[in-house]
Chains A and B, each alone.
Chain A
């Protein structure tokens, strides 16, 4: 796939995050703060981000997958794992705690880098260190974290 198209695809994703308001950790944390519902200060916006994203992807994936293969690849690389194992419980549990602590998940944190703030850089460097640790642990366990063609 041409590098410029990859760049554009990432740009669309990033602009989507910015338009949605997800690049603002305060907005994300205000969604996760359910105690704010009775207080009347809850920001439900994130639910609309999910709704918009899933609506487009649900329809778009179905249209795209009717084609025999991707434009720039011989085959689709869809996740094959179906088992609900300990890793699909432990990983997201740990991820959620980190997300709730600062309001950053990987996509918004990477767009935040474009603001040129030290906070975003600190978070990203720590995130990459955590990723490297998880990959190493998975290798020593003999399981493969993030197979080359698995989901992400």
Chain B
């Protein structure tokens, strides 16, 4: 494992920007900024005509490190400790679970909790619990 510094202020500001983006999407489109929903609807079958907008939103996410590096001169630190087999397994579970549960950390965690949604509260409590349990097992039991 790699130690990381506690960054309350940067995390609070970054979280505020995530919230701002969610408010922007609600103001412009009237939609929830759930990344799993936006990403999964890039896959067929298509149910509405919003494909280009979703692709543009995802392109903005992907372009973010380049914009960040352009302004600050360097990329934020990123340490990926998982090997390829684990990344594949984790990706499958994250993809399946987020669609099956209609949301992920953004849709349920930020937007849902902000809307005082009981379903989102349940979702957040469940995924936090299984994520914490998974880290405990992989770091301290295996």
Once the chains bind, are A97 and B93 in contact (CB under 8 Å)?
yes
How many B residues have CB within 8 A of the partner chain?
121
Once the chains bind, are B57 and A88 in contact (CB under 8 Å)?
no
Closest to B96 in A: A130
How many A residues have CB within 8 A of the partner chain?
123
Per-residue B-contact encoding for A69-100, CB less than 8 Å = 1, 0 else: 11111011111011110011111111111111
Q: Complex formed: what's the CA distance from A95 to B32 in Å?
A: 19
Residues of B within 8 A of A21 (CB): 4, 7, 10-11, 14, 76
Residues of B within 8 A of A90 (CB): 97, 100-101
Smallest CB-CB A-B distances: 8 pairs? A152-B37, A91-B101, A10-B60, A20-B14, A14-B64, A130-B95, A52-B15, A126-B91
5 A–B contacts from the bound complex (CB under 8 Å): A10-B60, A17-B61, A98-B93, A106-B106, A130-B95
Once the chains bind, are A114 and B62 in contact (CB under 8 Å)?
yes
Closest to A85 in B: B119
Closest to A16 in B: B17
Residues of A within 8 A of B75 (CB): 115
Q: Complex formed: what's the CA distance from A75 to B135 in Å?
A: 41
Once the chains bind, are A17 and B18 in contact (CB under 8 Å)?
yes
Once the chains bind, are A14 and B105 in contact (CB under 8 Å)?
no
Q: Complex formed: what's the CA distance from A107 to B60 in Å?
A: 11
**Is A142 at the interface (CB under 8 A from chain B)?**
no
Residues of B within 8 A of A122 (CB): 84, 87-88, 91
Residues of B within 8 A of A25 (CB): 78-82
Residues of B within 8 A of A7 (CB): 56-57, 59-60, 63
Once the chains bind, are B29 and A12 in contact (CB under 8 Å)?
no
Once the chains bind, are B7 and A71 in contact (CB under 8 Å)?
no
Q: Which of B35-72 contact A (CB under 8 A)?
A: 35-43, 47-48, 52-54, 56-68
Residues of B within 8 A of A95 (CB): 93-94, 96-98, 100-101, 104, 127, 130
